[in-house]
Amino acid sequence: MNALASILRWPADAADRQRLALWTSAEIAKATGGTAYGEFQVSGVEMDSRDVRSGDLFVALKGEAMDGHRFVEKAFASGAAAALVDRPVDGPHVLVADTMQALQDLAKASRERAGATVIGVTGSVGKTGVKEAIFASLERTSRGGAHRSIRSYNNHVGVPLTLSRMPPRSRFGVFEMGMSAAGEIAHLTGMVRPHVAVVTTIAPAHIENLGSIEGIARAKAEIFGGLQPGGTAVIPADSPQYEILREAALAAGAKVLSFGRAEHADVRLLDVIADAGGGSLVTASLLGQRLCYTVAEPGEHWVANSACVMAAVHAAGGDLGAAGLALASMGGLKGRGARSRIPVPGGHALLVDESYNANPASMRATLAQLGQTPATRRLAVLGAMKELGDFGPAFHAQLLEPLLGAQVDYAVLVGEEMLPLARELGKGLASTLGKPLPFAHCANAGEAIAALEEFGLAGGDAVLVKGSNSVGLSRLVAHFSAREG
């Protein structure tokens, strides 16, 4: 039997008989309480006119500085089939009182009609990578029936937008949820209503608003409040906040599935062998079942992430073999671990792009990985860690130990918040190589580019670029990635 015949004989699924249109005008009007002007169908939902594709519903959101209604005409010119607006426009549209509320109502209607198993993912570190790995695992065996948040659409706009885009045919939905203050996860999980709620880890991100690491754990644990009856909470067994998470999950009526190295972990990491290519060969136990798989992404943090992914896929009823294949083939995401080789005098340098986000835990993890990366020289470009409040100076100064431990040959520190670390380095403390670490302290990404150019990259270098997104180190990554060989 040839491949085409095999595909045609693939067992039918009830979802295959559903229509392909995402929303009709009548459905949008019913979901939002609005009035439809024109009869239409849409194949997607978009809030940015620059990203509109043919067949999309353009949602004209209003923010503090920008009103999406200014771009309705541009959206139609780009192929939008209709618009969701709070004032009449030329072209097919649904008129509502408030477009933000209407988007949330559309998201809730999408969740209500969905027959998919829904997984919600939050955590201080690793949630985007874990979300992508869970999606890749479920996509492999669902015949294209998995849906997930794109980019880092994890806030009060991104989550309802992603929900509203979920096709009725979906078998799985994987949604990332972020927060910077208490109550935000509760609002998001009330829309997502997951069957599986995942917390990757707890670390001092957004501690400025939450006051303590325990406060962060409680805010993340809000995800359990939205679990469907009989749902599963996937939590890190190695976390000092394990009991806080476990008690919150049990109070919500959830089944608990933990992961990590601890003896009580349900998905327990037993053995890890570093791969010559930078990844790891992992042996784990899942409720007594032995698993062996490869993780392509380098670093101890990705070993822990892999156990989290296995737990989530198991809880969602997915295929663990497909999860192993997904973990073995995943590459780094832009701004979140993407690796590229850039031409420099004497050959090529390895550029590790971690420019999208940073907190004390992720800084330590990526610096540790840099220290294990084979290289002639190791360079670290570290941007400020934001939203640490009064804890900021101490957390930045404490990067001295992992920076020296990584045997870095040159450091570029970017942002005012990095001053405490610059002061520590200025004391001339010796690294494990027995010599002080040369460094430059820059105000912005432009100065950092100049400092790195002046230092000079050479063949065999490994360069880590890590910082909070607002520091703008993606500009530095783009600058050096654009070099021609």
Tell me, what CATH number does 27's domain have? 3.40.1390.10
Are residues 431 and 324 part of one domain? no
Instruction: Say which CATH number the domain at 197 has.
Output: 3.40.1190.10
Segment 395-415 mean pLDDT: 94
With a CB cutoff of 8 Å and minimum separation 6, the contacts of 437 are: 403, 404, 408, 409, 410, 411, 425, 429, 431
Which domain, by its residues, includes 420? 338-481
The percentage of the chain sitting over the pLDDT mark of 70, rounded to a whole number, equals 93
312 and 205 in a single domain? The answer is yes
Residue where a domain stops, chosen among 281, 308, 329: 329
Q: pLDDT class for 276, splitting at 50, 70, 90? A: low
The answer to whether residues 58 and 131 belong to one domain is: no
pLDDT value at 17 more than 60: no
From CA 85, how far away is CA 82, in angstroms rounded?
A: 10
| 68 and 208 part of one domain | no
Structural domain includes residue 4: no
Q: Does residue 182 share a domain with residue 76? A: no
Residues 402, 307, single domain; the answer is no
Q: Quick one: pLDDT at residue 379?
A: 96
Q: What is the pLDDT of residue 278?
A: 76
Mean pLDDT of the chain: 91
Question: Which two structure tokens, joined as six digits, stand for 53?
Answer: 């594709």
Q: Are residues 144 and 208 in the same domain?
A: yes
Average pLDDT of the segment spanning 361-374: 89
CB distance 220 to 245 below 8 Å: yes
Q: What is the pTM of this model?
A: 0.81
Task: Say if residue 118 is in the same domain as residue 68.
Answer: no
pLDDT given at position 432? 56
Share of residues in the chain with pLDDT > 90 (%):
75
Longest dimension (CA), the chain: 74
Q: Which of these three, 329, 364, 383, is where a domain ends?
A: 329
Structural domains of the chain, count: 3
Which residue is associated with the tokens 């993606």?
474
Asked, for residue 371, whether it belongs to a domain, the answer is yes
Q: Are residues 86 and 150 in the same domain?
A: no
Contact 233, 308 (CB under 8 A): no
Q: Rounded to 5 degrees, what are φ and ψ at 293?
A: -155, 165
Domain boundary, last residue among 304, 329, 354: 329
pLDDT at 208 over 90: no
Poorest-pLDDT segment among 147-151, 158-162, 223-227, 318-322: 147-151
> Taking 80 as the threshold, does the pLDDT of residue 13 lie above it?
no
More confident residue, 300 or 209: 300
Q: What are phi and psi of 53, to 5 degrees?
A: -120, 165
In this structure, are 72 and 125 located in the same domain? no
Q: How confident is the model at residue 19 (pLDDT cuts 50, 70, 90)?
A: low
